A and B are shown apart, each in its own frame.
Chain A
Amino acid sequence: MTLDLPFVWAGLIAFAVLAYVMLDGFDLGVGVLFPFVPEEGLRDDMMNSVAPVWDGNETWLVLGGGGLFAVFPLAYSVIMPALYAPIIGMLLGLTFRGVAFEYRWKTKRGQFFWDWAFAGGSAVAGFFQGVALGALVQGVPVVGRAYSGGWWDWLTPFSLLTGTALIVGYALLGSTWLIYKAEGDLQERAFAFARRSGLATFALIGAVSIWTPFLKGAYMTRWLGWPQILYTALVPLMVLAMAYALYLGLRDRAPLRPFLAALGLFALSYIGIAISFYPYIVPNSITIWEAAAPHASLAFLLVGASVLIPMVLAYTAYSYWVFRGKVNAHAGGYH
């Protein structure tokens, strides 16, 4: 039996992107919540709760992009020009919020500016990631081996909705993370943020899910055709169950469960997107197998990935373990 390498790699890239969205999602979410916490001391705690891990979280984005370049170069070379403006917007947002982690502590006079860079950069990055996702779901026209659409194709009501949904979803991840990491006043507020952003996230997941089948006939048959609806219906049912778990966790004031439930919501939504995409990597234009690099490239990188990804997961877990527990001034930064 031979491995279907393009399929394996599609799974690995999908895993990398999901890992990115879940991990950087909560630290971007902490940034999105910054404007709602005006107190400097609480902002210190918020930033310190993610400072040791944000860089590792963001590396999954490089793996997603770099991996696409490596194993699906055709998809990479079509998607990037198609999403030109959202990608540039995301990168600029990530630039501002990334440097804010260090700069914020280096100045008193300019601190408000870097606070805004952190909040604004996080929100802009999350928004454009959502827009990029929405634009992909809508489909990307291809002629030959190149993108053939216009420069503003990505900008539609649907992509604006997915952009908004992702900011709100990140805020949910960020607030449930803070429930887990914070104490006292900050944790109280995180509970309040989580209730509101949880409700909004649930509503937005619903809106995107209802809209998606009407974008393309293929999505309609994929989701609502008989008999596969018996399977696809599981996804919305599990989303409902996960939303209920989130509700219970918040009601019981559990420290960790709301965060896990929020991650679950993200994973399920992501599975929903994967169901819509498959077998395409560029929806309705290029399949996984058409985009795949030659066998020698896939095999070469897979050898390394099968050793290195478990190692990465192991020391990433170790790093989270080192910085376990509640964040406070004593466990905080070195600045």
Chain B
Amino acid sequence: MTAIDLARWQFAFTMGFHIVFPVFSIGLASYLAVLNLLHLLRGNPVYLDLFDYWKKIFAIAFGMGVVSGIVMSYQFGTNWSVYSDKVGPILGPLMGYEVLSAFFLEAGFLGVMLFGRARVGPGLHAFATLMVAFGTFISAFWILAANSWMQTPAGYAINEAGQFVPKDWLEVIFNPSFPYRLVHMVLAAYLTTAFVVGAVGALHLLRDSKDAASRVMFSMAMGMATLVAPLQIAAGDAHGLNTLQYQPAKIAALEGDFETRAPAPLIVFGLPNMETHRTDYALEIPYLGSLILTHSLEGEIKGLNSFPPGERPYSPLIFWSFRLMVGLGLAMAGLGVWSLWLRVKGRLYESVWLRRAAVLMGPSGFLAVLAGWVTTEVGRQPYTVYGLLRTADSVSPIAAPAVGASLIAFVIVYFAVFGAGLFYILRLMNSPPGAEPALPGPLRAAVVNSADAPLEGGAL
């Protein structure tokens, strides 16, 4: 493999690991804020039990997000230095704003949220939790502005050194795909978290269908699925139309159609072949492609063959990643409708099959996010800045052995470190809410839960 292949694998690998943590912490921080506020307003201790339960899981996920995120902020420079030099004047300030307005906010109030309830009291503690949640959202705002600018660059000029330089910051930030991507991603974060919370609630209801805390989280999660999954489908549809307008080659590749057709069918399954320029074994539904993408029966959709061979994203991958994402989204919406039907009939806590399905769907959000991320990023190829800067012209002047060695190191370390983290998270999830987690042997750690401990040691 060449240095650029290795650098791409390294980015895909480290990013693929990283992306799941912020998605989970965006959703979970908001959930914790809601639980905290509900406890403050209603005084029902079950909300505080749930808060303490999910707080421990959040702490692990957030820690993994922090360490894998620091890697990302330096990897631009180590492996993609030419890209960094050229886009730094535009993307750098966006990320600078992310650090200043989001990362510090999260980090500054995280300590209070995790450790400080007894020290600051319930009101300020709820405020700290809100600030952490707000920080995760601001972070999403800036990083998606940056990511969207790479997809649909706007508001820039190019200087004599070949750098992209800002002309209009509002156009840079609110570039054409940004609003769609932001909504789609934040909803994805909420859905992902809702399905994790729902699966944990369902798991404990399968063991004890009367457990109050499990009922609360299961009901909240199913409610989110009912409300948000259909919204997400609508947001995804709008995002797709936006992509068709600005990145038609990506749409052609994920539709898996090489021919330009009007009316265009929807290819449900098939094997796109980049060499023969045709999709083998295609199973088509007439008119549906036009209907989805042009919202009319006869609309024309450009096929991959209408783009020069060097401009085509790799269809065999994103054809399938796109279908995986959409399929999971539909399944999520289906579960939401099912739970709504049972809720209306007053049997939300009675169906064993709903619980089993919810457990099964627990990781579905993560899979959908990864599939969607692969679709949009591979669909941007062969460019880093769409239409303007090729991936091949972005890479550092690095030697393959250096990139290869660091890639191997990342693979080993990430599987070990994040594998352990996943194990600890699953073990916490396996213990019921309201109970101290079962550990092999007594932990003599600081078990003191801050919630009820008297405030002392305040002197300097």
Contacts and interface: CB of A to CB of B under 8 A. Distances in A.
Interface of A: 40-41, 44, 48, 51-53, 55-56, 58-59, 61-63, 65-74, 76-81, 84-85, 87-88, 91-92, 94-96, 98-99, 101-103, 105-110, 145-147, 151, 293-294, 296-297, 300-301, 304-305, 308-309, 312, 315-316, 318-319, 322-326, 328-335
B444 to A, nearest CB: 7
Given A51-B115, A151-B402, A312 B417 contact: no
Contacts, number: 292
B116 interface: yes
A6 to B, nearest CB: 12
A106 B427 contact: yes
B19 interface: no
Contact of A96 (B56, B104, B399, B413): B413
Interface in B83-124: 84-93, 95-101, 103-112, 114-116, 119-120
Interface residues of B, number: 94
B282 interface: no
B449 A70 contact: no
Contact of A95 (B161, B167, B417): B417
Given A69-B77, A73-B88, A326-B457, A334 B114 contact: yes
A147 B89 CA distance: 19
Given A81-B396, A293-B92, A99 B417 contact: yes
Contact of A70 (B95, B103, B104): B95
A268 to B, nearest CB: 26
Contact of B66 (A53, A67, A98, A151): A98
Contacts of B97: 301, 304, 308
Contacts of A69: 73, 76-77, 84, 88, 91-92, 95-96
B109 A99 contact: no
A328 B459 CA distance: 13
12 contacts: A59-B103, A62-B70, A65-B73, A66-B98, A69-B84, A69-B91, A85-B406, A103-B60, A106-B424, A107-B440, A294-B89, A331-B456
Contact of A325 (B167, B409, B457): B457
B344 interface: no
Q: Enumerate the 5 nearest inter-chain pairs by beta-carbon distance, A residue then B residue, closest first.
A: A73-B88, A80-B77, A70-B92, A332-B446, A52-B111
Contacts of B120: 322
B453 interface: yes
Given A300-B93, A334-B114, A91 B64 contact: no
A317 to B, nearest CB: 9
A79 to B, nearest CB: 7
A80 B115 contact: no
A325 B458 contact: yes
Nearest to B59: A102
Given A87-B74, A312-B105, 19 more contacts: A58-B70, A63-B99, A76-B76, A92-B413, A94-B67, A95-B67, A102-B60, A145-B85, A147-B81, A293-B88, A293-B92, A293-B93, A294-B166, A297-B93, A304-B101, A312-B104, A322-B120, A323-B119, A332-B446
A3 to B, nearest CB: 17
A73 B100 contact: no
A315 B294 CA distance: 50
Nearest to A335: B445
B398 interface: yes
A95 B68 contact: yes
Nearest to B421: A99
Contacts of A318: 108
B388 interface: no
Interface in B57-81: 59-60, 63-64, 66-71, 73-74, 76-78, 81
Contacts of B440: 107-109
Contacts of B112: 52, 319, 322
Nearest to B116: A322
Which of B64, B101, B106, B448 counts the most A-chain CB atoms under 10 A from its CB?
A: B448
